Structures are given as structure tokens and as C-alpha cells.
Structure 1
Amino acid sequence: MTHQQLVARSVAAVITASVGFGASTAYAEEQVTDDENTVVITASRFKEESVRLPTNITIISKEDIERSNATQVVQLLKRVAGIQISSVSGKTTVSMRGISAEQASNNVLIQVDGRRLNYTDIAAPDLESVLVSDIERIEIIQGAASTLYGDQAVAGVINIITHSGKNKESNASLTGGSYGTAQANLNLNHALNQDWSFLLSANYLETDNYRDHNEREQSQLALKFHYLTEMSDWLFEFNTNHEDLDTPGALLEPDLSEPTQSRPEFANDYVNTQQDVLRVFGQETIDNNWKYAIDVNYLDSDIDSINSFVGFPTTTVNTTDRTQWSVYPRIKGQWQTDSGSIDWTNGVDYDHAEYAFSLLGRSNEQEVKSLYSQLFIPLSKRTDIEVAARYARVEDDLIDLTIYPGGISLKNSATAYDIGVSHQFDRDSRGYVRYSDNYRFAKVDEQSYTADGVIGLEPQTGHSLELGYERGLKYGFLKLSAYRLELDDEIFFDPAATPPPAAFFPGANVNGGRSERIGLMVDYQAELTDDINSGVNYHYVDAEIKRGEPSSQGNSIPGVSEHTANAWIDWQIDSISNGYLEVNYRSDRYQEGDVSNTQPKIASHTVLNSAINWSWEQLTLGIRVDNLLDKEYIDYAQFGGYYPANGRYGYVKLSYRF
């Protein structure tokens, strides 16, 4: 297969994913003719070849991952339109739709194969535990998805799909790079018989990282058994992850002349994590009209840490213990009509979590139960309508040594509704409009530190409206979308709020008034020549506090950049080598938590990343350099505490496929 054919198939696959969602069955079949290159997505929570959800969906393919020579998930997400990335002491948060980094872990749902990475406390999902070598593709739903996914899917969903045992290729790699980075990785796939296969994945990483006192050592092991027949698809998985991370803490403004340093009060700080996951997934085809699926997940996470503050060193060791388990059964019916198929999905989500934090004598047992239904009806061969609804209840049994020493039971409920229309104008273009409700429940940290006199926070609720147009071009595609996201009773930390009695620091978690985000996204990708692919995207968002305290009403939402833009180019230099160059721009924004907009802004920055790969049969040698020009900038800042971004970082990766 020539490179031009590969590019054409890749572009066709992307168009199928991004333009074909609203097409009738006939149109989808015309666009996808090669099963090997079919893009399978899970926006319906079922494995299938086409999904009709009327919203902006982005696919990062396996080929995209390989040609970028990325070793971290964050490297793959940085070039996606509408995503803003922030890093704190080696851990990453991913923001969408004008949500601040401080609130991203509460409002952007991140999953691996349908298993939630988000925790019941405000800790960010651990993207660093996801191995790029394990990823088959990444699916990104931009916009509210509460009816499908429930709590925390306010601004969007990122679903990372990993290899299963049916993948016949095995690989091993060695990586060495800046800051003493060394990594070894193995993915071994083997077919046991016609139906059963297994995958063994192992990884070891050590690095000093960019800043002082930020050493990291990580070891991971995963085992998957996969059963696949014409009617059945079952996956049994176990993985374990151990990580030791020294945390350098924040810097004050005078410290920024030496951005790699760590202040003396953080000399003893660290976070050591042991996390184990068990998962069973099954999907069965009952007959021509019905199929069902079930997801069962269990997570056990134990953390030891020392957490100091600027000016307040400590040597107290804190422990955080989490257990989370979930059961997600669902059933889907499909009936063919002259205009297309009627698709009806119904499901129950059950989540149970236990959490304990030693420092504050804080613990919580949380139970969330949800019912949801989604219906697609073809109004004509070119037009689909989607309606969906969800009802959810949450119960928290909370103990906090300072605020609720005797314990308290908090109960709440929330509903969400969707209605959307998608119209296929012709073979290559479609438009859509979608109205969605969204919600999220307060997390244990937030419920435990509310303003004086407030017992429990109400659910955050919201509404979004999105318009989109997508067109497949002869050598690429164009995607346009505009949205309005409005949140009521938004849950956030307000430094001006009256703290609870016996508080450790000023401020409290509150239900704010109302906030609004109005945004526009443009994404264009093109094959410039037979050997050069390129892309450019832009995101604008006006994020504003519409109603709240007099000191904040009308202000910009802190932590949100009004403008982000990305551009990239991928050049097939010759038959064995390709080069990759990427530029990321992010405009200035107020510091996290600065609802009064009075503190100095975080300056804008532009960063260049580059990679080059050489492939000889099963062997690939890759070099990647991020922050090519060694730009100094701030990735995250809150209340005058600054976290510098990495300087120039490069590595060499040698991979072997067998």
C-alpha cells in the first residue's frame, strides 16, 4: 500500500467519524467499505461502526499516535481543538469548553475503555498512568454528555481505547531522554485459539523531571483476556500501577528567575501511589434487533503523601484510601425502516465509592444510581433526531473531624435531557443542532469545606446549545461549531466566602450564581501533497461570571484562555522516514481561583514540538523534542503560587514490532 493510499484511508476514516455520525445507514455504508479501516467509536456506549450523536467528536487514531512519536497522553491531546492543558508537579489536567483547570477534574469525564478515571475527591484523573503504547485510539466528545455518561460529563468526555488481545501485533520499546528519563515497555499479544487471546503489558519508567525534587519512578503491569466471536465480545482485565513521585510545590514570583528550583519547605513532599484495577466487559448480540452490554469495574487506590504549603512546611504523612466499584448494564434495540434505523438504548449505572483521608479525619461512602434512555429516530433518509434523558440520585455518608465529627448523610438528585437534530446535506457534509442539560454532584472535599452555616452543596446544573457543520473535502475536511454553555449553582472554591468553623485557611466551597461560556471552534485538515499532511484549528471562548457576589459578577472566569490555536504538519520524507512539527498557542488568563480578577495574569505562550521517525521493517527509531525553542512560561498558577512548565525536553525511542 502506498503512502498516498494510507493517507486517503486515514482521511476517509476521520470523515466517517466526524461527518458520518448523522448520516443514514445507507450513507454510512457507502463511506466505509474496508472493515480493516473502519473507525469504531463508543459515543453510544456500544461497540459499533457508526454513531449518530449530533455533536463534535474527534478521533486520534493509532497512526496519528505512531507518527507523532508521543510517549504521554498529554502530548496527543495538546493539538486537539478546544482542549487546554495544565500541569502541576508532573500531573496533568485537561480542560474543555471554557472550564478552568481547577474545575476540570470535576467537569470533564475521562475514561479508559469506558472505566472512569475521575475520582470521588477533587484529585485529577491520573493520565500519567495510561501508557501510550497501549492506546488503540482516543475518542473525544466535545460538549455535554450527561444523559449518556452522568455525573461530571459537563463539558465533554475523553474515552481512551486500549488494545485488546485481538490485536495480533506485539511490540517492545526502549526510551531515553532529558532529565535522566529512561523507559522500557513490552506489549505481548497472543491468540490462544480461534476465539480467545490475551495481552500482557509491562512498563517501567524513571525520570528526574524538569524541576528539582520532582523525581518519578513508575512500574505497571496489565493482563487482558479477550473472547471474541460473531455474537460475543468479552474482556477480562487486571492492571496494577505503582508510582513514587517527589513534588516540588509552587514558586513565588521572585523565585521564577530560576524556574527549575523547589522551595525549601517542599524538601520532604512526595506522593506515592499503589493502584489496582479489575474490569469485566461483555457485549452480546441477542438477535437481529437486540444487543446488550455490561461493564463491571473495581479500583483500589492507596496513597501516602506529605503535602506542604508555601511558608508552611510539614513532615506529617497523610494517607488517602479509595475504593470504587461500578456496574453498568445496558441494552440496545435497533429496527430498520425505509428512512434508516431506529436505535433505542436503555441503561442503569451504579457507582459505589469509599474514601478516607487521614489528615482531616475525613471519610465518605458515596452511592450514585442512575437510569437513562436514548432514542434515535430517522425523520428521513438524511435527517435524524435524538432524544435522551437521565435521572440520578446520590447519597453521601460523610465524616469530617472538624466540620461533621458525628457524621452526616447528604442526599440529592439530578436530571438531564437532550434533543438534537442532524441533517446530511449531501454525501460529504452535514449539520447539526443539539440542546443538552448537564449536571455534577459535589465531591467529598467540596462537601466537607462549605461556607459557615451551609450544610451540603446542591448539585451543579447547566444547559448547553451547540450548532455544527462538517464537510469532507477532496483532500481533507472542515469542522465548524459554535456553543453556549450555561452553568447554575456552579461548584467552586471562593476565597472570599466565610470559611467553616475551625477552618485551616480562608474561603470555602460554594454554589456560585451563574456562569456562561460562549465559544467557537474551527478545525481544518488537508493533504497538501502526496507526502505532506497538515492541520490547523482555533478555539475562542468568552467565559464570564454572569451572576454571583458583587465583587465577581461580570468578571472573566479564572484559568480560562480566550484564544487557543494549534497547527501541525506531517511530512513523509522518503520511504522509511517521516517528520512532524507542531505549534501550540494559548492566550493569557487569570490565575485559578481569582474570581475578582485582581491578581496578575498568566502570560500567553507559543510552544513548538517536533519529531522524526525512521522505520526499517519491524524496527522504528524515533526522536521527539518538545518545547523546541526552550520557552519559559507558566503552566498553572493559583493565588500567587506558580508552577513553571517544562523547558526543552527530548528523547530517543527504539521500538520493535513482532
Structure 2
Amino acid sequence: MGKKFFHKLSLSLILGLIASPGLCVENSQEVPEVVISADRIEEPVKESTTKVTVITKEDLEKKNFTFVSEVLRSLPQIYITAYGGPGQTAGAILGRGTKSAHTLVLIDGFKVNDPSSGMFDFGSLSVDDIERIEIIEGPQSTLYGSEAVGGVINIITKKGKGKPKVGLLVEGGSYGTYKTSLELSGEAKFIDFRLNVLRYYTEGFSATNKEDEKDGFKNTFFSSKIGLYLHPKARLELLGNYNYGRVEYDGFADKEALKKYHNYLIGTKLALSLLDNYKQIFSLYKNNYQRKDYTPKDWFIYTRYLPSTEGFSWENLLNLNKAYSLVFGLDFKREKVEMYSEGSFSNDFYDKKREHVGVFLNNKVSLLNDTLILNAGLRHDDYKSFGEKTTYRIGFRYLILKVNLVLRGNYGTAFRVPTFDDLFYPGYNNSNLKPEESKGWDLYLEKDLLQERLVLGAGMFYQKYKDLIQFNLETWKPQNVGKAVIKGAEANLSFKLTQNLRLKANYTYLDSEDRDKHKYLTYKPFHKVRATLEYSLKKLAFLADYTYTGKRFANVDNSKRLKPYSLVNLSANYYVSPNLKIYFKIDNLLNANYEETKEYNNPDRSFYIGIRLSY
């Protein structure tokens, strides 16, 4: 690692330590909602300099979501590219990213992006074992390295709490769909545990609008988390999940294409707090995918992918005088992909691996009685195949007490290394590709009114890319030819109209341009609006969710345009007792006919009813 990096590292640390003497009075108001992803430490959401969206377990249960893709689809800063219904491939494009491979996805802090494609497939990820979802927007490579170009989605799973209990969920509805989920959880003196198993089936509908046969989906999912207190200041946590799916889909020339996959993630974390102001976390994980595609009538009859990622992290948190915190550590990651494809004319194969080491630090300083928070970070990554990359970020949060106005601002840099398919896929690869690079800034205002019954927020952002990797249809190979700029604005409000009635609304405007071709980027809606109205009584709760997605372009020359559409989803919950809930939901109430991805179908109006029981 270069001398310049260590000079920057030392300077960042010294500046942070100089600013650290007791300049802050401890805030007596406790903020219950915390976030982990913004700075790789647990901190109150209101103290983060970065824009953070948190979806809680209560939010998921109120709206009775089934898959994480449904949750993300409803958010104004995310666009889902789904190739059909449940189980079909679905990527998530954050507003700051140009493609789904620019979104880093974590499960309990472990990286789960597929190294062969660079993206994470949300098509079959269930919400049943999720405690909360944290979404961090903007370039985040300083803390997370490659892939965190447009932002980070961190999915945090539940851990056992309270007396041992059993939870059961049964749901059925349109398209011959049924779902059953069983959960076992609890805690004792030195141990907590949570086990969850899910079975999902749907007859489905045709993935593409060129066919009319049903493309079904079967899914079995198992997840567990066990925590052990080895000592009052030492906790060991074990995580494991396994996901099996069988998906029918429509291939290039084969409407009876079939995909089977087996995915598993295992990880462990050891948290040591041997000193009051110093904490260490050691993490070890392996994420493994196995998927097989059968398309007898296509060019490629059989394709097998075996991508895997394993890694280790060492994180350190140091607090001084409650005014200064320093996070520093090391990440190691090894990726491997084995691909075999049997075609009508030839067979393709590659088996490659690569390693990466990154070191990082992040300073956070509270000044002026907690009204001003400064944040600065630096990271150095060493990829043997691509050399070294240094990224940084700075941010602030300032509370203007006289007008009770919060101002947040950030600037950061990011990068993403080419995927294995970009580099090695036989006949369609380019081994000379360089990493994509990005830099961007954002500025946000937030104000509480009417004794916090009304919260208003607004902001703007700008992000610039260079060396974007794009597939060249003339050479049939990926190339570093892209330059792009994404700029936009956001606004949000939360209004507690009465004790029982609440309105939430968000709006995002995007202006995304491919600077090389002077065209708009694909699948980036100009406008997206989301509004939720929630009404609750003693045992009843009703929710109406509205999402508007504006026009998008489906190809690089902007000759194919997707029409705007509106979705209305309704959900009703009846709490028979604290341990028994009956719910009913209607998706796509207005029966909108729309496309998220060109020539691929989405569900019509559909109805579902379910029971959730805990004992």
C-alpha cells in the first residue's frame, strides 16, 4: 500500500484526535431508533450525517409484505427491475446508481452480492426473519469498498427476545399462492435464539408478455440466529440461512425454461467490549450460490453457476469523552466463480478467483453541545488484479436551534471492480477493463413542526461516473466507455393528522444522463411518488399505499419508452388478541397494466388473506 495513503490515514487520525477534547455535553434525550450501516457502528438515526431510511419490523408486518422486493418497490429512491413475478430475477437500482450492480447488499453486515453478475437477486428473499432494513444513499466505498457506488441496503435479521415462543403464519390468495412460515425464538440467561422456516408456492403467470403459459415458483427458506454471552462483555453470534428455489421462466427462445438454485450464508461475529470506551467485532462468513438453468430450445441448453464469497472483518470502535468516536478496521474478501455452459454450437467454461484487502477509518466529532456533528473517513483497497484504490468521504449535521432546522451534507468517492462475467465469460469478455469510479455530494434540510406532529424534509444530490462498464453491441464485449451524471431532488413529509390517522409522502426527481451518448440512462424514472395513509383503532388498522412511477427508457438509444403507472395497495389488520392477527390485502387495486422491465409482466389485481399467531 502506497506512502500517500498512509500519509492521508495519519493526517485524518490526527485531525480527529485534535478535535476530540470534551467539547460536547451528553444529550439527555434518548433516541430509540438506531442505525448500524451509516458508520458501521450502532448510533441514533438523528445523529447520522448520512441520509438513512429505516424500515422496521412493524412497518413490514403492518403492510404484510411477502418479499423484500415488494418493500423496496414502494420506496421513491429505489427502482426494481423484475423479469416477471415472484421468484424471477429482480435487481434494485438506487437513485444514485446507474444499475443494480451499483447497490451493495448486506445481510447482518455480510456481503451477499453475486460476484458473477455484481448484483443481488431480490426475487425470492422473504421478509419473515427481518428485524429492519437500512438504506444508505450515495457513494459508500469508504466504509464498504467495491459495489457501494450508489448506496447500501443492509438487511438485519431478528434475534430471540423474551420467553420462548412459537410463531405461525399462513397465507393464501391469487395465482394459486400459499405461504406458511414457522418461527421459534426466545432467550435465556446466556443464550438467545431464533429459528425460521418458510414454504412458498405460486402457480404464477407468464414471465414475458409474449407468452401466455404460467411460470410457477416454489421456494423453501430456512434461517437461524443464535447468540451466546461468553462473558458479560463478550457476545458470540452465529447466523445461517439456506434458500432453495425452483423457477419456471421464459428464455430467449424457450418458454419452458427452468432454473433451480441452492443458496446459503453462514457467518459468525464475536463482539468484545472489555473496556468501557473500546469495542471490537470480529466477523467471518461464507456466502455460496449454486444455480442451474435448463433451456433445451435456446442456444445454451444448460448453464451452471457456482459463485461464492468468503470474508473476514475486524472492526474497532473507540469513544473518547462522548464527543469523539473513531471506527477503524480491516476487511478481507475472497471471491470465486465457476461457470459451465453447454450450448447448441459450443460449450463455455471458466473457473476464476480473486482476493481483496481493505483498511478503513472513520472519525466522528460532536461540537457545540451536540448541535454540530462532523464526519470524515478514508479507505484503501488492494485488489491484486486491479491495483489499489483510495476513497474518502466527509459529512456534517448541523442543528440550527433558533428555527429547529437540521442541515445535512456529504461528499464522497466510490468505485466498483468489474464482475467475473465482464472479465472471463468466454467470447463476451474483456480482461482489460478498469474499475468504475464515482464521486458525489448531497445536501438535505429537515424541520419539525407542530410539536413534531409534522416533519418536512427536502434535499438535492449530484453524482458523477467515469469508466462505466457497458456492453458494446458491435464488438459483443463490455468496455469502459461510459460517463454519466445523475442529479435530482427529494422531498418528504410525515404528518400525524389525528391520534389515529397518519400520512407519509415522499417524492424523488431524477435527471440521469449518459454523457457519451447524450441520452438518458435506462430504467431511471424522472418522477417517483409514494404516499401512505394509515388509520388505526383499538383492534383494527387500515393502510393505503400509493406509488407513482414516471416514464423511463428501456434501451441506451432511448428509442423504447416505458409508460408511467400508478399502483394502489391496501392492507387491513384485525388484532383478535395480542397473539393473534388476521389480515387481508389487495395488491394493484386499480388493476394497472405496467412494465418494470421491457416486455415482462407484473401481477394484475390480486387478493390475499392470512393469519399470524404467536404463542
Query: What is the TM-score normalised by the length of structure 1?
Result: 0.83
1:450 CA drift (Å)? 10
Question: Aligned residue for 1:596?
Answer: 557
Question: Aligned residue for 2:353?
Answer: 365
Residue 249 and residue 586 in structure 1: after superposition, are their counterparts in 2 closer, same or farther (change >3 A)?
farther
Classify the secondary structure of the residue corresponding to 1:133: coil
Is 1:615 the counterpart of 2:575? The answer is: yes
Cα distance in 1 for partners of 2:574, 2:433 equals: 55
Residue 433 and residue 366 in structure 1: after superposition, are their counterparts in 2 closer, same or farther (change >3 A)?
same
Cα distance in 1 for partners of 2:153, 2:416 equals: 17
Is 1:325 the counterpart of 2:320? The answer is: no
Cα distance in 2 for partners of 1:489, 1:31 equals: 45
Cα distance in 1 for partners of 2:274, 2:457 equals: 37
Report Cα offsets for 1:84-138 as digits up to 9, x if no partner: 12211323211112534xx21x101111111122111116413244331211111
Matched letter for residue 320 of structure 2: W
Q: Within 5 A, what are the aligned runs for 1:257-656?
A: 265-307=253-295, 313-314=298-299, 316-336=301-321, 341-359=323-341, 360-381=348-369, 382-395=371-384, 410-426=385-401, 428-448=404-424, 455-473=431-449, 474-495=452-473, 498-499=474-475, 507-546=476-515, 548=516, 552=517, 554-572=518-536, 574-591=537-554, 594-597=555-558, 599-617=559-577, 618-637=579-598, 642-656=599-613
Question: Aligned residue for 2:17?
Answer: none
Cα distance in 2 for partners of 1:453, 1:532 equals: 55
Cα distance in 2 for partners of 1:357, 1:647 equals: 36
- Identify which range, 576-585 or 447-456, moves more after superposition: 447-456
1:166–1:226 Cα contact (<8 Å) kept: no
Cα distance in 2 for partners of 1:582, 1:177 equals: 19
Question: Aligned residue for 1:180?
Answer: 176
- Identify which range, 234-243 or 44-53, moves more after superposition: 44-53
Residue 449 and residue 190 in structure 1: after superposition, are their counterparts in 2 closer, same or farther (change >3 A)?
closer
Matched letter for residue 552 of structure 2: R
Cα distance in 2 for partners of 1:135, 1:608 equals: 24
1:43–1:51 Cα contact (<8 Å) kept: no
Question: Aligned residue for 1:209?
Answer: 204
2:423–2:430 Cα contact (<8 Å) kept: no
Question: Aligned residue for 2:93?
Answer: 95
Cα distance in 2 for partners of 1:534, 1:236 equals: 39
Classify the secondary structure of the residue corresponding to 1:447: helix
Report Cα offsets for 1:244-268 as digits up to 9, x if no partner: 1111247xxxxxxxxxxxxxx3233
Question: Aligned residue for 2:12?
Answer: none
Cα distance in 2 for partners of 1:66, 1:194 equals: 29
Cα distance in 1 for partners of 2:24, 2:75 equals: 28
Residue 130 and residue 366 in structure 1: after superposition, are their counterparts in 2 closer, same or farther (change >3 A)?
same
1:315 CA drift (Å)? 6.8
Question: Aligned residue for 1:222?
Answer: 223
1:248–1:267 Cα contact (<8 Å) kept: yes
Report Cα offsets for 1:394-428 as digits up to 9, x if no partner: 23xxxxxxxxxxxxxx4333221111122121295
- Identify which range, 90-99 or 510-519, moves more after superposition: 90-99
1:70–1:76 Cα contact (<8 Å) kept: yes
Cα distance in 1 for partners of 2:294, 2:426 equals: 24
Is 1:67 the counterpart of 2:62? The answer is: yes
Residue 167 and residue 49 in structure 1: after superposition, are their counterparts in 2 closer, same or farther (change >3 A)?
farther
Report Cα offsets for 1:175-213 as digits up to 9, x if no partner: 10111111110110132x312122111111111123234
Matched letter for residue 155 of structure 1: G
Aligned residues: 571
Matched letter for residue 227 of structure 1: L
Q: Quick one: percent identity of the two aligned structures? A: 21
Structure 2's unaligned 5+ residue stretches are 1-22, 207-212, 342-347
Give the structure with the larger strand fraction. Answer: 2
Report Cα offsets for 1:153-172 as digits up to 9, x if no partner: 11111111110123655411
Q: Within 5 A, what are the aligned runs for 1:39-54?
A: 39-49=34-44, 52-54=47-49
1:299 CA drift (Å)? 1.9
Matched letter for residue 414 of structure 2: N
Classify the secondary structure of the residue corresponding to 1:132: coil
Report Cα offsets for 1:267-308 as digits up to 9, x if no partner: 331110111221101222121221111221112221111258
1:494 CA drift (Å)? 3.2
Question: Aligned residue for 1:258?
Answer: none
Matched letter for residue 657 of structure 1: S
Matched letter for residue 175 of structure 2: Y
Moved beyond 6 Å, runs of 4+: 450-453
Question: Aligned residue for 1:110?
Answer: 105
Residue 452 and residue 363 in structure 1: after superposition, are their counterparts in 2 closer, same or farther (change >3 A)?
closer
Residue 538 and residue 369 in structure 1: after superposition, are their counterparts in 2 closer, same or farther (change >3 A)?
same
1:55–1:466 Cα contact (<8 Å) kept: no
Cα distance in 1 for partners of 2:26, 2:178 equals: 48
Residue 564 and residue 167 in structure 1: after superposition, are their counterparts in 2 closer, same or farther (change >3 A)?
farther
Residue 315 and residue 448 in structure 1: after superposition, are their counterparts in 2 closer, same or farther (change >3 A)?
closer
Report Cα offsets for 1:587-616 as digits up to 9, x if no partner: 11111xx3222x221111111111111111
Classify the secondary structure of the residue corresponding to 2:298: coil
Question: Aligned residue for 2:13?
Answer: none
1:614–1:622 Cα contact (<8 Å) kept: yes
1:530 CA drift (Å)? 0.9
Question: Aligned residue for 1:30?
Answer: 29
Is 1:82 the counterpart of 2:81? The answer is: no
Cα distance in 1 for partners of 2:272, 2:221 equals: 31
Matched letter for residue 605 of structure 1: Y
2:406–2:446 Cα contact (<8 Å) kept: yes
Cα distance in 2 for partners of 1:247, 1:272 equals: 11
Query: What is the TM-score normalised by the length of structure 2?
Result: 0.88
Cα distance in 1 for partners of 2:53, 2:589 equals: 26
- Identify which range, 119-128 or 294-303, moves more after superposition: 119-128
Cα distance in 2 for partners of 1:557, 1:107 equals: 14
Residue 477 and residue 649 in structure 1: after superposition, are their counterparts in 2 closer, same or farther (change >3 A)?
same
Cα distance in 1 for partners of 2:461, 2:34 equals: 26
1:451–1:510 Cα contact (<8 Å) kept: no
Cα distance in 2 for partners of 1:213, 1:305 equals: 18
Question: Aligned residue for 2:20?
Answer: none
Matched letter for residue 422 of structure 1: R
Structure 1's unaligned 5+ residue stretches are 1-23, 251-264, 396-409, 500-506
Cα distance in 1 for partners of 2:64, 2:245 equals: 23
Give the one of 224, 232, 235 matched to 2:234. 232
Matched letter for residue 416 of structure 1: T
1:611–1:622 Cα contact (<8 Å) kept: yes
Cα distance in 2 for partners of 1:48, 1:383 equals: 15
1:59 CA drift (Å)? 0.9
Question: Aligned residue for 1:502?
Answer: none
Residue 358 and residue 74 in structure 1: after superposition, are their counterparts in 2 closer, same or farther (change >3 A)?
same
Matched letter for residue 393 of structure 1: D
